[in-house]
Amino acid sequence: NQHLDVGSNTITVVVTAADHSTKTYTLTVIRAGSSNNDLSNLTVSAGTLDPVFAAKTVSYTVNVGNEVTDVTVTPTVADSTATVTVNSKGVASGDASQPIALHSGENIITVTVTAENGTPKTYTITVNRAPSGNADLSNLQLSSGALKPVFASGTIAYTATVGASVNNLTVTPTTADSNATVTVNGAIVASGQASSEIKLKTGENPITVVVTAQDGTTKTYTVTVTRTPAQNNGGATPGTGNGNGNGKVTVVVTGGGSNPGSSMEDLTKKIGSTLNMSATILGTDGKPLNLPAIPIDSKGTFQLPNVPAGTYSMVLNVVAPNGEKLAGQKATLTIDGSGSATIQIQLIDPFGVVRDSITHQPIDGVKTTLYWADTQLNRDKGRTPNTPVPLPELPDMAPNQNHNPQTTRDGGQYGWMVYPDADYYMISEKDGYLLYDSRQDLRDEAQGDTSYIRNGLIHVGQTIVQMNYDMTQASAASGVHKPYIYGYPDGTFGPDQHLTRAELAAILARLLPDDAGKSATPNFTDLQTSHWAYSSIAKVFGQKIMIGNPDGSFRPDAEVTRAEMAVVIAKLKQLPTALDTNFSDIGSHWARQFIAQAELAGFVTGYPDQTYRPDQAITRAETVVIMNRVLGRHVQHVDAPSLWSDVSPDFWGYAEIMEAAQEHDYQLLQDGTEVWKQN
């Protein structure tokens, strides 16, 4: 026997004649290398493979706790001539790989076995590392004052005391886990960074620090900072004072959060901390009492006049830097028999939000202009109807400083502090949206006792008006979408069921125009004229979009692979030639060109590990996602009941399936988004 090595083997045969002459024959035998690229075993250092390892199963899942920060993988090849890599790094068969670091969530590990003849096979392990539940702080610091007790991560309640000269401070929280997030008084703060300055009033100031772990677990730390009162100030103080000089005024500001404030200084914190105000006390008849207006300076200092015990209404107007009086808020003033008083008032917050009428998301960049309405009230006050309202600038009123016009920003926000006793309307415009004219907004909405939005008119009495509204994207087209796929007679759709070649032919036949050439008469060995999809197969066969196999069969009930889907798309759309692909597992695959074409056109995508998995069967849900892309049907949301028992509205592909399988009207917006409408 002649030993053969893998590759070329030369065998020489020499024939010697009787006269001793020789003749040499040369035989070259090429021995193919082994094609065995299976693993005989595969293990991980933590967790358990699901499903149990089998050589022909190439996809596995492993679940590990958050405490597992890395794993090793031990692959064993079935053929000693094969080589193996783990995440592209060579590993000896039966040996553990280098530790592979894990982040929280999905971690894709690829194990590639290359047979002796060069044929590769890739096994994929998806390691799911649980998110962290650590919601501790490792440190907490104040810019002024000292925490009591000394900080410890397990202690959640602290106090601190600062002098009267400390008007504000910052808080610096540091999370124990870098994946956790933290807020200070509801505002997000980067771990280890100082918060925005927090204004302090005299007395107790509660500060909440909330840590949210990666898995959603929360932990709340509280710091109560006490600011001591100033000594010998010789006059009225913010939020104190009364008519006879021996009572106390308590201010309660509501709205704008769980602890909006307890001083007059807090009332204007959304429009500017340097604004003065003017207060007017009203009698039971709603008319001003015969008392002078009460000035309130920017520090919230005021003095109540001598008023008998009782409950009164009170209007607080904002005074602009130029001295003009603006609308404000109405308050309730209660004075008891001892002369002490309580003022209850809502935060002055004029900000509205503009949203998209379809997505309900805030819209930034909307130019909004406020106009004088054409009413007798405005004409009597000398205002010119249908002209922009000239408003005073408020420098600290973010984000637009009370300018008119102004542009929405910071989450679709806009807002004006306007004049009292006036009628207004607004016009808003943005490219790609229909013009918004508040005169066409027929809502009926009271805001306080004296202000309202009604029949297209914005009337401001003494108190501010806050108005949210929607804008509608302009349409590029509209029409009716017919279904191109259907469910089954038992009331199911089978979203996770693999698509068959016959079903794909039926989809394509429905999408092709009726005049797309005559159907051919197929003579496939496994297709009878009685087959339910015979006419559909004939149509796509005639268009050369789907053809049979070299053995003369069509295999109508065979599953469609992802490679075959790419071929069909490339033919259907007549895509330009392409060869380059970003997928790591295409290599010299027979469908490489078609996959590259479909990828370049944006019709197909791969998996997080950069693979396409061309020989994997495609599901019906995956099919409609791809076909909707091919057809340019970019639906975002479907507000309609499900037609199938196995597709609920919270299914990941619900909107795509409804788009593909139910007849409906549609409106195509200028950004390409489709608005799905049930007909």
Region 633-660: mean pLDDT is 90
pLDDT at residue 6 is higher than 80: no
Residue at which a domain ends, from 473, 495, 520:
473
Is the full-model pTM beyond 0.75? no
Looking at the structure, tell me whether residues 587 and 518 fall in a common domain.
yes
Looking at the structure, tell me whether residues 441 and 505 fall in a common domain.
no
Looking at the structure, tell me whether residues 496 and 611 fall in a common domain.
yes
pLDDT at residue 488 is higher than 80: yes
Give the span between the Cα atoms of 488 and 494, in whole angstroms. 8
Looking at the structure, tell me whether residues 519 and 635 fall in a common domain.
yes
66-87 burial, b if ≥16 CB within 10 A, otherwise e? Answer: bebeebbbbbbbbbeebbbbbe
pLDDT at residue 136 is higher than 60: yes
Least confident span in 228-242, 368-382, 484-498 = 228-242
Is residue 628 within 8 Å of 604, Cβ to Cβ? no
The reply to whether 241 falls in a domain is no
The reply to whether 28 falls in a domain is no
pLDDT at residue 239 is higher than 50: no
Looking at the structure, tell me whether residues 496 and 626 fall in a common domain.
yes
Looking at the structure, tell me whether residues 491 and 639 fall in a common domain.
yes
Region 185-205: mean pLDDT is 91
Tokens 């039966």 map to which residue? 94
% of the chain with per-residue pLDDT over 70: 94
CATH number for the domain including 212? Answer: 2.60.40
Looking at the structure, tell me whether residues 626 and 580 fall in a common domain.
yes
pLDDT, tens digit, 9 for 90 and up, residues 580-638: 899 999 999 999 999 999 999 999 999 889 999 999 999 999 999 999 999 988 887 88
Looking at the structure, tell me whether residues 373 and 463 fall in a common domain.
yes
Give DSSP secondary structure letters for 296-328. E-TT-B-------SEEEEEEEEEE-TTS-EEEE
Give pLDDT, residue 238: 36
pLDDT, tens digit, 9 for 90 and up, residues 24-38: 888 887 777 788 999
Most confident segment among 192-201, 347-356, 420-429: 420-429
Pairwise pLDDT comparison (311 vs 646), residue with the higher score: 646
Tokens representing residue 399 in the block: 């984000």
pLDDT, tens digit, 9 for 90 and up, residues 320-355: 988 899 999 988 888 887 777 888 888 888 999 999
Residue at which a domain ends, from 67, 99, 129:
129
Least confident span in 71-80, 251-260, 320-329 = 251-260
The reply to whether 237 falls in a domain is no
Q: Of 475, 469, 460, 421, which is closest to residue 441 (Cα–Cα)?
A: 469
Q: In this structure, what are the phi and psi dihedrals at residue 599, rounded to the nearest 5 degrees?
A: -65, -45
Residue 559's region, left for phi above 0, alpha for psi from -120 to 50, else beta, is beta
Give the span between the Cα atoms of 86 and 300, in whole angstroms. 68
- Give the structural domain span for 184: 137-227
Region 206-211: mean pLDDT is 94
Give pLDDT, residue 310: 83
pLDDT band at 264 (very low <50, low <70, confident <90, very high): low
Report how many domains make up the chain: 5
Give the span between the Cα atoms of 72 and 61, in whole angstroms. 14
Give pLDDT, residue 474: 83
Give pLDDT, residue 127: 94
Looking at the structure, tell me whether residues 89 and 110 fall in a common domain.
yes
The reply to whether 17 falls in a domain is no
Give pLDDT, residue 564: 95
Give the span between the Cα atoms of 284 and 175, in whole angstroms. 55
pLDDT, tens digit, 9 for 90 and up, residues 512-547: 887 655 567 888 999 999 999 999 999 999 888 998
Please name the amino acid found at residue 254. Answer: T
Residue at which a domain ends, from 303, 331, 346:
346
Looking at the structure, tell me whether residues 616 and 493 fall in a common domain.
yes
